[in-house]
Amino acid sequence: MIKIGIVGGTGYTGVELLRILATHPQAQLTAITSRKEDGVPVAQMYPSLRGRVDIAFSSPDKANLNACDVVFFATPHGVAMAQAPELLANGVKVIDLAADFRMQDVAQFEKWYGMEHTCTQHLPEAVYGLPELNREQIKSARLIGNPGCYPTTMQLGFAPLLKAGLIDAGNLIADCKSGVSGAGRKAEIGILFSESSDSFKAYGVSGHRHTPETIEQLQRLTTDKVGLLFTPHLVPMIRGMHSTLYAQLKDSALAMSNEELQAVFENAYKDEAFVDVMPFGSHPETRSTRASNMLRLALHRPGNGKTLVILVVQDNLVKGASGQAVQCMNLMFGLDEATGLNHVPINP
Amino acid sequence: MIKIGIVGGTGYTGVELLRILATHPQAQLTAITSRKEDGVPVAQMYPSLRGRVDIAFSSPDKANLNACDVVFFATPHGVAMAQAPELLANGVKVIDLAADFRMQDVAQFEKWYGMEHTCTQHLPEAVYGLPELNREQIKSARLIGNPGCYPTTMQLGFAPLLKAGLIDAGNLIADCKSGVSGAGRKAEIGILFSESSDSFKAYGVSGHRHTPETIEQLQRLTTDKVGLLFTPHLVPMIRGMHSTLYAQLKDSALAMSNEELQAVFENAYKDEAFVDVMPFGSHPETRSTRASNMLRLALHRPGNGKTLVILVVQDNLVKGASGQAVQCMNLMFGLDEATGLNHVPINP
Amino acid sequence: MIKIGIVGGTGYTGVELLRILATHPQAQLTAITSRKEDGVPVAQMYPSLRGRVDIAFSSPDKANLNACDVVFFATPHGVAMAQAPELLANGVKVIDLAADFRMQDVAQFEKWYGMEHTCTQHLPEAVYGLPELNREQIKSARLIGNPGCYPTTMQLGFAPLLKAGLIDAGNLIADCKSGVSGAGRKAEIGILFSESSDSFKAYGVSGHRHTPETIEQLQRLTTDKVGLLFTPHLVPMIRGMHSTLYAQLKDSALAMSNEELQAVFENAYKDEAFVDVMPFGSHPETRSTRASNMLRLALHRPGNGKTLVILVVQDNLVKGASGQAVQCMNLMFGLDEATGLNHVPINP
Amino acid sequence: MIKIGIVGGTGYTGVELLRILATHPQAQLTAITSRKEDGVPVAQMYPSLRGRVDIAFSSPDKANLNACDVVFFATPHGVAMAQAPELLANGVKVIDLAADFRMQDVAQFEKWYGMEHTCTQHLPEAVYGLPELNREQIKSARLIGNPGCYPTTMQLGFAPLLKAGLIDAGNLIADCKSGVSGAGRKAEIGILFSESSDSFKAYGVSGHRHTPETIEQLQRLTTDKVGLLFTPHLVPMIRGMHSTLYAQLKDSALAMSNEELQAVFENAYKDEAFVDVMPFGSHPETRSTRASNMLRLALHRPGNGKTLVILVVQDNLVKGASGQAVQCMNLMFGLDEATGLNHVPINP
């Protein structure tokens, strides 16, 4: 059994981790910290976990995280980098669901997150936790920067085309839509039911933190200079993310048939448990992934023209966050990658 | 492995059965019938099942249901009674999720469902599939009438009080609220998104089929004459059911303390895997049971008066339908009752 | 033109007042106060009002409310009673949308609202602003306690029967359901989209402030002792309120026909612009009143028995709050009661 | 008073027309036809109109549409072209909310709508009813093709830039999102609450009817060849449309400042009652236009680069359909363009 600690388990990625780990056959939840909720049983805050998770939150000083095999940080940005050095020194592996270890470019991190990076000594060993693109590195990592939800969809959608050199890397557009849970469990007016229900809006159009993270990763796949325009939107649904990706075929690729383009995707993901390449021209719905670790995508080529449209859907809290983190954990501990992640999506 | 057939798997209780059975360790899905969708892979109609359910719908004449160990009917009322005799004669157990075998009173059935009952010869052996009240009978049954969703909440909410003789059986009020999936997967104007979203209404207030079903069952628990007023409402949510039950304490019970009343519920359900008696005065939310087989309830006594209020929540498609049916199947085949039903509720 | 001031216009009843007053032919919005938003144009906070409301919030000390003809308080409880004396002394009429002037029973007010009542000298002249029951008093009032949203539905639903002496006043049950906007525009976890969408729950079942308010008013209609059990619930919709009322016919009324009972309602409201008595046995939907000042109700008598069920719907922010306040204002200033309130409900 | 007939008023654009016309000071609703609902009072089908619309549906043969001043067609495609000739011959003006008279290119119409155009003789005089771009023609028209909802947003978003020659006309991308009411009031599985709530998807990505309509209109604004990629999506909300438009600045325009670009929009729409140019960098929400005829837009230029992003929101049933039709009617009859269209958006 893997002894697991969770720092900051009161948010949505935290409770989703708990849901997944509660039925993971190799997981032994050892400690979950929250300064504010010290002593409160987890199941009191989350009645959905009554009878399934027995431990209580404890303040960080009481929780003996150093005795864990792995610690997940489901915290605001900046917490993991403060605590990771001690944990790593004690042989504890660290998976951060926030942004502290996602970007190697410290200047970019500090610009977009407005804080000093205080753990740059460990950045070089930090592995970006996207198994479909980084599997071997994850297996041997002891420090993981778990990808952002939007970046997961953008990377898995563009990667096969970029790797194959078929599209103009400098002219990528990602028009992305997320359910409200992506904004976290924070008492803010803008994500009240009466504010965000029955409405739709874009946000962060002039610039968003997930752009530099995604560019840094996409750039690893091509020698062409990557240019990405990313537009996030808020959808009145709890979970789910839908990214509509636009890419321009290079002139050299214009002669490819749709079947050949489809094959590029099918070959790229043919061994993946959690990427489903749907038939060419499909329209995946976010609900087809609800509460599961599956990401589905489909390729379109309107008018058989120069522009490809890739539709990508996932559950932002699972493949976009906590499920992906458990997928990484499985790899890091030599388990089958899908262990504990076989949830069938909820429909309807 | 239990060889399983499903008749009519294109509706919501059907796809929910498929979701549950897909990870049930003893279930082997053998056939699923649909005249209209003959030959269509199940996963084509329900992309959420891609990679998880491999078979296709087949027309009833092609499916060899007689070779199954058990057949679930997730069909409109009237289908199961037509096919049950042949299946039973071939040693196949039958679990009907519709109403054909719920009521022993044929006249009431025919009045409320507007059809002749053509299988009265098997009614006497039909067992009402509510394990918490009928467990032993279910174990030895070969024909199950799976309870309606509303009746499950009303029975499990009122039963402890009725059995203990504490309330006026003749004056029960059940003000119940259901998510829209309870209306089924039918192309009807009234359940369109634009009609039922952002609105709330009652329906069937003057009379509803679930009243006689519930009364017949409640009457088995008391020698007093049962009187029940049941008011269903439609809530703009997909899944979930919340029943607000009102009962009047008998004069002889007025002196009981709230702790004693609470103990009546806790004792009644102390060994139940799928009934959660919450602390006195709690307010259970439907989402605390979402996509799980758990039913939660809580007791209130406003002003320490004569009226008890019992709040009951469940997922109408799981404990209110398909989960309960699998719970019955487990009992009928000697499995642990919770096999394959350990889903943790989805939150948020 | 009526010179109008609004204190505390940043919440939902405030913005709804602004929406209504923006097209009211006799309304001249003079000042709107908010300490926190001093100087911020109203239309900046509420883009829906761009081009329609030109003034900015001002801090209370800058706004010359004494120059208004009427001031609406769309504030938390306790604000109006602090400011009303000075306004009244300056000849300004006051309409409080909070609870300060709803209840004559000071002890009850202080118990339920947890604050001292500091304006008891004006309580005797305060008029409960429910025009259908209090029209004449409102016309000559200079201080209005605008009714709560739930109480409006309970009173208009029970009143005709209580006045006519047809039901057991001591045994009233009101199972009520409200859209989330009823909880106000406050940064609280429980009313986040991800918490309250796709779910349903009761709250305050053991006791709620609207019970004593409603009892005080209902008691004015009958010499029998009023007993009311009120159970509020939260519906995942923005606006709308549905109250399901249960009343027991007195033995002396059991012989009445349904037509006679229906006539009691039709006669009671035959001259009302904002109460729509629907045909016997109807199921009104909340959306049939969305964004309008209309309240609709329908009578049921299941099984032609002893229990009557009255279904009442309204928009909680209009007839349940701001529309009703404007209705009162119209009466207080000698205008046609429906002036500026002719909005047709939004459907779908 | 203008005598008005409506053909096919049972759908969402029909009931929205009725809502608007019910308070339009110059409108006299004379007839509303529906073969299926002959004799049914409109208010019985739509309780939101009780007391506001008194007439009943009548079958087409009984309704004397030739006596009207104007007839609106809120019908499926193909109905208006069958009836327009007789109406026009009788001096009745015609406003078609369907597609029959939107496109001058008959071949394109027949390809995308799958039906023969049987009224080509009147096409040349048909005016595309987008007042902001076609005002003078509408004033003198007797036959209007009312724009589609998506095309309205795309045209008003791209038009100022195209007219000014600032963007590459051949490389326009419109990623558009619509509420479910846009799909109409049809009994179809895909738009059931349980299918489309809490989910998000694209549709028609490989090709959609609104593309050729939009291109035909945009082409009128520029001599460059227009190329448009249009991707529609379905949002789980009732009303509202959000179009995210991407355009590439021409090299010759790259030196323009953001203030200059913003001025292009502000000048283009400075006299428009129903187009609100928000401050540069704003994020308009669909709800800021809910139930009103207002369209709002905002300009972004991420990274001060080559790509402009224009965000456009409207209520798809008002400015996207019935409100725009009434706006046209006002122009055709010499009324102030905003008559009867002063609804303040509903918030929350």
How many C-beta neighbours within 10 Å does residue A58 have? 18
Contact between residue B347 and residue C192 where contact means Cβ atoms under 8 Å apart: no
Which residue type is seen at B82?
A
3-state secondary structure of B33: strand
Touching subunits of D (3+ CB pairs, under 8 Å) are A, B, C
**CA B141 to CA B134: how far, in whole Å?**
11
pLDDT-based confidence at residue B289 (cuts at 50, 70, 90): very high
**Subunit contact B201:C236, Cβ cutoff 8 A:** no
**Subunit contact C181:D348, Cβ cutoff 8 A:** yes
What percent of chain A is modeled with pLDDT above 70? 100
Strand partners, C192: A192
Place of tokens 């002891």: A142
Q: Given this model, what pLDDT does residue A293 score?
A: 98
**Subunit contact D206:A281, Cβ cutoff 8 A:** yes
pLDDT tens for D58-71 read: 998 889 999 999 99
Q: Given this model, what pLDDT does residue D9 score?
A: 85
Contact between residue C270 and residue C214 where contact means Cβ atoms under 8 Å apart: no
Best CA proximity match to A287, nearest among A332, A239, A326, A340: A239
Phi, psi dihedrals of residue B197, rounded to the nearest 5°: -75, 150
Cβ contacts of A51 on chain B, cutoff 8 Å: 276, 294
Tell me whether D185 touches chain B (CB under 8 Å).
yes
Cβ contacts of A312 on chain D, cutoff 8 Å: none
Could you say which of D173, D199, D301 has the minimum Cβ distance to residue A285? Answer: D199
**Subunit contact B48:A23, Cβ cutoff 8 A:** no
Residue range B118-141: average pLDDT? 98
Residues forming CATH 3.30.360.10 domain(s) in chain C: 150-316
- Tell me A68's DSSP state: S
Q: Given this model, what pLDDT does residue C190 score?
A: 96
Could you say which of C195, C202, C303 has the minimum Cβ distance to residue B244? Answer: C202
- Helix (H), strand (E), coil (C) string for D134-191: HHHHHHCCCEEECCCHHHHHHHHHHHHHHHCCCECCCCEEEEEEEEHHHHCCCCCHHH
Cα D261 to its chain centre, rounded Å, is: 26
Contact between residue C231 and residue C206 where contact means Cβ atoms under 8 Å apart: no
The ipTM, to two decimals, is: 0.97
**CA D211 to CA D231: how far, in whole Å?**
9
**CA A297 to CA D27: how far, in whole Å?**
50
**CA B60 to CA B8: how far, in whole Å?**
9
**CA B129 to CA B112: how far, in whole Å?**
20
**CA B282 to CA B265: how far, in whole Å?**
14
Q: Which of B268-272, C87-91, D206-210 has the lowest mean pLDDT?
A: D206-210
pLDDT tens for B12-52 read: 999 999 999 999 999 999 999 998 999 999 999 999 999 99
3-state secondary structure of D348: coil
User: The tokens of D131 are what?
Assistant: 């007042």
CA-angle at A32, arms to A28 and A35, nearest 5°: 170
Residues of chain C scoring pLDDT < 50: none
Report the predicted TM-score, pTM, of the whole model to 2 decimal places: 0.98
Q: Given this model, what pLDDT does residue A272 score?
A: 98
Note which residues in 134-153 of chain C have CB less than 8 A from chain A: none
Residue range D17-46: average pLDDT? 96
Q: Given this model, what pLDDT does residue B9 score?
A: 85
* Cα separation values, A335 from A139, A291, B344, D80, Å: 10, 22, 22, 65
User: The tokens of C101 are what?
Assistant: 């002037």
Q: Residue C314's closest chain D neighbor by CA?
A: D48
**Subunit contact C200:B301, Cβ cutoff 8 A:** no
Cβ contacts of C286 on chain A, cutoff 8 Å: none
Tell me whether D279 touches chain B (CB under 8 Å).
no
Phi, psi dihedrals of residue C192, rounded to the nearest 5°: -65, 155
Residue range D115-119: average pLDDT? 97
Cβ contacts of C236 on chain A, cutoff 8 Å: 193, 197
Q: Given this model, what pLDDT does residue C9 score?
A: 85
Tell me whether B43 touches chain A (CB under 8 Å).
no
**CA A95 to CA B296: how far, in whole Å?**
34
pLDDT tens for A157-179 read: 999 999 999 999 999 999 999 99
What percent of chain D is modeled with pLDDT above 70? 100
> C251 CB contacts (<8 Å, ≥6 apart)?
none
**CA C95 to CA C326: how far, in whole Å?**
9
Work out whether the CA dihedral B324, B327, B333, B334 comes out positive or negative. negative
Interface mutation vs chain B, best among D194, D198, D347, most B CBs within 10 Å: D194
**Subunit contact C187:A189, Cβ cutoff 8 A:** yes
pLDDT tens for D232-289 read: 999 999 999 999 999 999 999 999 999 999 999 999 999 999 999 999 999 999 999 9
Could you say which of B51, B278, B291 has the minimum Cβ distance to residue A346? Answer: B291
Tell me whether B290 touches chain C (CB under 8 Å).
yes
Tell me whether D25 touches chain C (CB under 8 Å).
no
3-state secondary structure of A59: coil
Which residue type is seen at A287?
R
- Domain at D150-317: CATH code: 3.30.360.10
Nearest chain A CA: its distance from B344 CA (Å): 6
Catalytic residue among D119, D149, D176, D328, which? D149
D128 pLDDT higher than 90: yes
State chain A's mean pLDDT as an integer.
Answer: 97
Q: In what order do the strands lie in the sheet with A201-202?
A: A201-202, A228-235, A172-179, A241-248, A307-314, A295-300, A275-277
**Subunit contact B201:C300, Cβ cutoff 8 A:** no
Could you say which of A47, A285, A346 has the minimum Cβ distance to residue B346? Answer: A346
**CA A331 to CA D317: how far, in whole Å?**
51
Residue range B273-288: average pLDDT? 98
Nearest chain D CA: its distance from C216 CA (Å): 31
Residue range A323-347: average pLDDT? 98
**CA A41 to CA A63: how far, in whole Å?**
14
Strand partners, D242: D177, D313
3-state secondary structure of D52: coil
Tell me whether D271 touches chain A (CB under 8 Å).
no
Which residue type is seen at D227?
G
Q: Is B57 left (phi over 0), alpha (psi -120 to 50) or beta?
A: beta
Interface mutation vs chain A, best among C13, C193, C290, most A CBs within 10 Å: C193
Contact between residue B274 and residue B255 where contact means Cβ atoms under 8 Å apart: no
How many C-beta neighbours within 10 Å does residue D74 have? 28
Residues forming CATH 3.40.50.720 domain(s) in chain C: 2-125
Could you say which of D46, D197, D288 has the minimum Cβ distance to residue C347? Answer: D46
pLDDT tens for C122-154 read: 999 999 999 999 999 999 999 999 999 999 999
Does the annotation count B149 as an active-site position? yes
Q: Given this model, what pLDDT does residue B322 score?
A: 98
Could you say which of A185, A189, A197 has the minimum Cβ distance to residue C189? Answer: A185
D186 pLDDT higher than 90: yes
CA-angle at C224, arms to C220 and C230, nearest 5°: 75
Tell me whether A120 touches chain D (CB under 8 Å).
no
CA-angle at C235, arms to C231 and C239, nearest 5°: 110
Best CA proximity match to A154, nearest among A324, A328, A322, A320: A320
Place of tokens 């025009």: C131
Class of the CATH-defined domain C2-125 = alpha beta
**CA A331 to CA A129: how far, in whole Å?**
10
- Tell me A319's DSSP state: I
User: The tokens of C201 are what?
Assistant: 């729950």
Contact between residue D320 and residue D152 where contact means Cβ atoms under 8 Å apart: yes
How many C-beta neighbours within 10 Å does residue D99 have? 23
- Tell me D345's DSSP state: P
Residues forming CATH 3.30.360.10 domain(s) in chain D: 150-317
Q: Given this model, what pLDDT does residue B205 score?
A: 96
In CATH terms, the fold of domain B150-316 is Dihydrodipicolinate Reductase; domain 2 (3.30.360)
Q: Residue C189's closest chain A neighbor by CA?
A: A187
Tell me whether B23 touches chain C (CB under 8 Å).
no
Q: Given this model, what pLDDT does residue C61 score?
A: 87
Note which residues in 203-262 of chain C have CB less than 8 A from chain B: 203, 205-207, 229, 231, 233, 235-240, 242, 244, 246
Q: Given this model, what pLDDT does residue D168 score?
A: 98
How many C-beta neighbours within 10 Å does residue C318 have? 30
Strand partners, A33: A7, A58
Q: Given this model, what pLDDT does residue A54 score?
A: 94
Contact between residue A251 and residue A108 where contact means Cβ atoms under 8 Å apart: no
